[in-house]
Amino acid sequence: MEIQTFSLPTPRSGHYYAAGDRNAPELWVVLHGYGQLASRFLRHLTSQAGPHRRIVAPEGLSRFYLDDAYERVGASWMTRLDRQDEVEDGHRWLDQVYAEESEHQGHRLTVLGFSQGAPTAGRWLLHRRPEAAVRLICWGAGLPHDIDLRADAAYFASLRIDLVVGDRDEYLDEERIARERERLEIAGIDAHWTHYGGGHRMDRRVLDRLVEV
């Protein structure tokens, strides 16, 4: 007999971590990369948290073991299997975190996504469209490739967009970077590019410069 497929939404517990004053005028939502955990990812940014900046790190809802010894655990924002369901689950989860953390009115919102977290950040902003002043930082990846930037150019053009690329990033070669530049230019979206010496990782000195913008 033919196998039937069903999809049902189900409540589950998500986890997020934060550092800095709850009433800070700046709110940063930072999204980790594939296989990372939010608590460890947040350690890269805690030096920037304080009375003037709160940094919130939600964790992707899909956890999995990273090694055959079942000791190291990572998380993911989505896989290709039932991908759209996972994208929408992620949007609902990020909506909840943002609603919980955005009680302070008039804050400036920065959304930073690293690696897999970068397109996740872009999709969520397009879905949510927060009323706060928004900055988007894509580190080690570009804007989502499954959206039509020209159709949503007006929204993305209203953001400050920073793209951060290491010159030894094994996932972003010159051809991919050129394609992303062209894609943004065709859509009429102005982006600020930061290149630094390093691989596919966060760099403290680069982060320090970005925070000052």
Four-residue CA torsion sign, 141, 142, 148, 151: positive
DSSP 145-202: TTS-TTTTHHHHHTSEEEEEEETT-TT--HHHHHHHHHHHHHHT---EEEEES--SS-
Burial of 4 (0-12, 13-18, 19+ CB in 10 A): exposed
Four-residue CA torsion sign, 172, 175, 180, 181: positive
Give percent of the chain with pLDDT exceeding 90.
Answer: 83
Give percent of the chain with pLDDT exceeding 70.
Answer: 98
- pLDDT, averaged across the chain: 93
Q: What six digits make up the tokens of 67?
A: 């090694």
For residue range 179-204, what is the model confidence (pLDDT) as tens digits? Answer: 999 999 999 999 999 999 999 999 99
- β-sheet bridge partners, residue 196: 166
DSSP symbol at 77: S
Task: Determine the pLDDT at residue 212.
Answer: 85
Q: Give the predicted TM-score (pTM) of the model.
A: 0.94
For residue range 120-157, what is the model confidence (pLDDT) as tens digits? Answer: 999 999 999 998 889 999 999 999 999 889 999 999 99
- H/E element, 56: strand 53-58
CATH T-level fold of 17-211: Rossmann fold (3.40.50)
For residue range 5-23, what is the model confidence (pLDDT) as tens digits? Answer: 998 988 889 999 999 999 8
